[in-house]
Amino acid sequence: MAKDNAFVNQIADIETDFPRWYTDVVVKTELVDYGPVKGTMVIRPYGYAIWENIQRELDARFKATGHKNAYFPLLIPYSFMTREAEHVEGFAPEVAVVTVGGGETLAEPLVIRPTSETVIGEMYSKWLQSYRDLPILINQWANVVRWEKTTRPFLRTSEFLWQEGHTAHATEEEAMEETMKMLGVYKEFAETCLAIPVFTGRKTEKEKFAGAVATFGMEAMMHDGKSLQAGTSHYLGQNFAKAFDIKFLDKDGTHKYAYTTSWGVSTRLIGALIMAHGDARGLVLPPVVAPVQAVIVPIAAKKEGVVEAAAALKAELCAAGIRAEADFSDNSPGWKFNEWEMKGVPVRIEIGPRDIEAGKIVLVRRDTHEKSEAPLQAAPAAVQALLGSVQANLLERARKRKEERVVTAEDMNGLLQGVEGGNFVKAGWCGCRECEDKIKEQTAASARVLVEGEHAGKCVCCGKEAKHVVLFARAY
């Protein structure tokens, strides 16, 4: 829909300046503020509430699949990072190192964790003795530091919050099953809770996690047609087991190295929510993770009984399990409408003297701006039903965009035109790193995931027989 300047004058136009729109929205809706150290962010209560809802939903899924939470140190001996050659090479440019502690130079520098495979590998080597100790299924909710040069709130910051699962298994088959299972958990969560349909698949060697045998990614399409890597699941094979001596005594009486995995998502998911569902008026939040699912705006609040009715309605909604707020500020109703719309609250409820007299409420949904009425006495059921409708519509809307904005290309010109048009592009690839690099150089698009089960044809770059069909896109 066109931007209504009568309502929105604080954020850039989403169609003509999407990057500025994003920055305006995250700041003006009080999701974040910029930290005093370059590249850091302060997650404000409204933004952190989204993260808490994401945590709650994911944590329940992790525990349902047998994983338990633990916590590992923030500081890691620098020598740990050097044990797995590919891992240290991949993370070296992003590592922050502590050399002084307590006013004295440290005997060994310490790394502030960019990820925890190394320190967790060290602990697993101590805990694992027998095949009876397997599998080890642990998840950690933590912060990590990666010294990024170019930053943007939620999408790429020097410090961010995430979860990282780390598991150890007796066989390759079990570890691969875990890797794919957790990718499936992420996909189900993204669609069910975030209302974001995603592409999943194996990453190329260039794009895989440093130290992994194979990385499987979850890619989400944003409003502007760019991709956001929303989560990854890594099969680490025995790479870290051998580096950290993670061995066990098997049933046959021999010592064997374990097979390990790691998988994670981060506060980047909040950026995905913003860019997948937002519109000209600001945020549009899926009800499952919205901090406030319904906001009550009293109309003619100074009239007798209005404030009391709004307060009673809020209490009733909260008792029914709905995250509800009532805006009793002295701002005008129009100002409140604009403010809560910008914050993306799924349902607005209006109640005034005439509504009370008629025994009804007015409901306005954030996704379509459609108005409806419901009996006051049936408010909780009406709001619950509307929240479900909003959640389903956001998923359907995002799914439609995902389906409509995937095109195919037979040559480099077609690939370039596809990504410049705001699309994901399916194309054949010979598997050569040189071609992958050339595609990135000439189109600014990278290989997001490999597409299984489709005829590869010819490589879009060199014209040779293709080994894979790849989903290419420009990415955040």
Burial (CB < 10 A; 0-12, 13-18, 19+), residue 332, is exposed
What pLDDT, in 10s, does the model give residues 24-33? 999 999 999 9
Identity (one letter) of the amino acid at 439?
I
Q: Is the pLDDT of residue 306 over 60?
A: yes
Q: What pLDDT, on a 0 to 100 scale, did the predictor assign at position 90?
A: 72
Reported as a single tens digit per residue, the pLDDT across 218-238 is 999 999 999 999 999 999 999
Instruction: Give the pairing of strands 75-77 and 96-101.
Output: unpaired
Q: Is 431 left (phi over 0), alpha (psi -120 to 50) or beta?
A: left
- Name the burial class of residue 340, with classes exposed (0-12), middle (13-18) and buried (19+) by CB atoms within 10 angstroms of its CB: buried
pLDDT at 149: 86
**Full set of structural domains in the chain with CATH:** 18-277 (3.30.930.10), 294-401 (3.40.50.800), 406-473 (3.30.110.30)
Burial group, residue 364, by CB count within 10 angstroms (0-12, 13-18, 19+) = buried
Give percent of the chain above pLDDT 90. 93
Q: What is the CA radius of gyration of the chain?
A: 25
Buried b (16+ CB within 10 A) or exposed e, 309-330: bbeebbebbeeeebbbbbbeee
The predicted pLDDT at position 395 comes to 98
For the entire predicted model, the pTM comes to: 0.94
Using alpha carbons, list the distances in angstroms from residue 110 to 18, 79, 140, 446.
39, 9, 20, 34
Among 215, 255, 209, which Cα is nearest to 235's? 215
Q: With contact defined as beta carbons under 8 Å apart, do 124 and 242 qualify?
A: no
What pLDDT digit, counting tens, does each position of 244-260 carry? Answer: 999 999 999 999 999 99
- List, for residues 391-415, the tens digit of each pLDDT value: 999 999 999 999 999 999 999 999 9
Alpha carbons 51 and 268: distance in angstroms, whole number: 10
Give the pLDDT band (50/70/90) at residue 7: very low
Distance CA(460)–CA(476), nearest Å, equals 23
Q: Does the pLDDT value for residue 277 go beyond 60?
A: yes
pLDDT of residue 3: 41
Distance (Å, rounded) from C-alpha 39 to C-alpha 327?
34
CA distance linking residue 371 with residue 382, whole number of Å: 13
116: three-class secondary structure by DSSP:
coil
Residue with tokens 């805006």: 327
The answer to whether 465 and 430 are in contact (CB under 8 A) is: yes
